Structure 1
Amino acid sequence: MSTATAPEHADIVEAARALEARYGTPWSTPLPAWNETLDTLLAHRSVRNYADRPLPAGTLETLIAAAQSASTSSNLQTWSVVAVENPARKARLAELAGGQSHVREAPLFLVWLADLARLEAAGARSSASVEGLHYIETLFVGVIDAALAAQNAVVALESLGMSGVYIGGIRNQPEQVAAELGLPPRVLPVFGLCVGYPDETQPAQVKPRLPQAVVLHREQYDAPSQVAEIAQYDEVMGGFQTTQGLSAAGWTSRSLARWRSRESLHGRDRLRDALNALGFELR
């Protein structure tokens, strides 16, 4: 049931603050409605510092229920997740993901998987053909399903006062991650997710996003109008970076540096080979 209501003055003020923090610029567009769900979504930030505080009993199961409530293509549910709490295993995964200490420090680390093995096994039990599992499209379905499920879990955990951060570095060495987690063939570790209570002594800030004019296209894609908006966003991000003790490089420079060379992919340049090794034929 929707809890959205026409915003009152206090809601408008809080909503405007949330939107201005999200974009780093004043917000003037009228708000048709506002609620706590929007508060939670707009307040999202990546948290890499966690309090030494255990998660309540039932947290994992609640997050998975939220994840399973996400949309899934044709109800195929081509995703799974491995919950890791063992300190030694988290430490090994942290190193495989590029030495990210927050993977070790978070009380719960979730590895989200594109899982085609479950349907393949069902086909074998039924003596049914599963040729379609071997095409790129089906892997796309699994990756998208995993992403949708994980984002539902993130919204759920943030609504409960917890925080998290996605770990794309889990794809740096996917074969080793698969071995660590005992994954069968045709299961791909897509990304990780740290879960825990944030360390309030090291608060994370809301990072401004690209202006809506850059990502929102009406009727047809509009490339020329993005140039000025991105230039403005570079200034906004430069200011944000300064507040975080970073050099004011802006968005364009830092983003291009992320793709400047094969080496900047940190091992993910060989993802096609890794997929083949994990049993994906990619026809």
Structure 2
Amino acid sequence: MNETLQTLQNHVSVRQYTDQKVSEDVLQQILKAACSGSTMGNMQLFSIIVTEDEAMKQKMAPLHFNQPMATQAPLILTFCADFNRFNRYCEFRDAETDAYSNLQSYHWAVIDALIAAQNACVAAESLGLGFCWLGTITYNVDKFIQVLELPKHVIPVACIPMGYPVEKPALTQKLPVEAMIHRETYHDYDQARIDSLYADKEHSEETAGILRENPDCENLAQVFTKHRYTKKDNEYFAQVLLDALKKQGFLSDL
């Protein structure tokens, strides 16, 4: 197995970092890798906000629900779906300027931003750094737009603290690869297949620990729906996102 495959297959989320700073040379290598990925029409519909300033980290911390890694990490990269830059290019070249204020354009830009984010993550791990994706960026989209001073047609979609790990955590229990793979057409899951695919995960020590922390739940699925990602919260944050998309100039077609 080559080094690239080893890096990808041994990925773990890192939530504790040493005090070692990320050098400008290492940062530039990560950013170059991020900006070298595939993009829609080679338009590069993303931007990356680099945060190293402690005051800015503290300003964003409440929006990340004060998770320790949001302030402890020496480097935070926020990836944004960005049609503003390309719209400006069209404006200054006498091209149509309202062609990309729609859901399709937002979809393109999100894909571009996430490809860039994953490229950055692979590069970071290959250079000895660890990272953790913060889902809170999707909960407080409206507030991050204000704090990061994002113009119209820019939406934050991923936030990733990075730094040198205090220690490398053990690999987490994943579903077997065949759980996610379909050949030629999609093959839906009956109960027998679900039971088989989730068996190892449900009987792992990690899951046992989670259930001990949530005694009102009989299984991992209930932990997710009752506590981690509830319907009520999902619907609330979905409305926040929808309002932000409209305010930022997307969804003109809806």
TM-score in same-fold range (> 0.5)? yes
Structure 1 residue 224 displacement after superposition: 3.5
Paired residues in the alignment total: 247
Partner of 1:193: 160
The reply on whether 1:256 has 2:220 as its aligned counterpart is no
Percent identity over paired residues: 32
* 1:51–1:145 distance in 2 versus 1, CA, 3 Å: same
Partner of 1:26: none
- Tell me the distance in 2 between the aligned counterparts of 1:281 and 1:160: 39
- Tell me the distance in 1 between the aligned counterparts of 2:192 and 2:3: 33
Cα deviation per residue 1:103-139 (whole Å; 9 max; x = unaligned)?
A: 1110000110000100111122122113320121110
Counting only pairs closer than 5 Å after superposition, residues 89-128 of structure 1 correspond to structure 2 as 89-128=56-95
Q: 1:276 aligns with which of 246, 250, 254?
A: 246
The reply on whether 1:129 has 2:96 as its aligned counterpart is yes
The reply on whether 1:165 has 2:135 as its aligned counterpart is no
Partner of 1:235: 199
Q: Is the 8 A contact 1:233 1:251 kept in 2?
A: no
**Structure 1 stretch 256-265 or stretch 165-174: which is displaced more?**
256-265
* 1:207–1:229 distance in 2 versus 1, CA, 3 Å: farther
Q: Is the 8 A contact 1:49 1:198 kept in 2?
A: yes
Corresponding letter in the other structure for 1:44 = H
Counting only pairs closer than 5 Å after superposition, residues 29-44 of structure 1 correspond to structure 2 as 34-44=1-11
Partner of 1:19: none
Q: What runs of 5+ residues in structure 1 fail to find an aligned partner?
A: 1-33
Q: Is the 8 A contact 2:153 2:248 kept in 1?
A: yes
Pairwise CA RMSD? 2.1
Corresponding letter in the other structure for 2:39 = T
Cα deviation per residue 1:149-169 (whole Å; 9 max; x = unaligned)?
A: 110110111011111011121
Q: Is the 8 A contact 2:13 2:130 kept in 1?
A: yes
Corresponding letter in the other structure for 2:225 = L
- Tell me the distance in 1 between the aligned counterparts of 2:174 and 2:148: 34
Q: What runs of 5+ residues in structure 2 fail to find an aligned partner?
A: 213-217
TM-score, scaled relative to structure 1: 0.80
Corresponding letter in the other structure for 1:154 = C
* 1:213–1:41 distance in 2 versus 1, CA, 3 Å: same
- Tell me the distance in 2 between the aligned counterparts of 1:162 and 1:266: 34
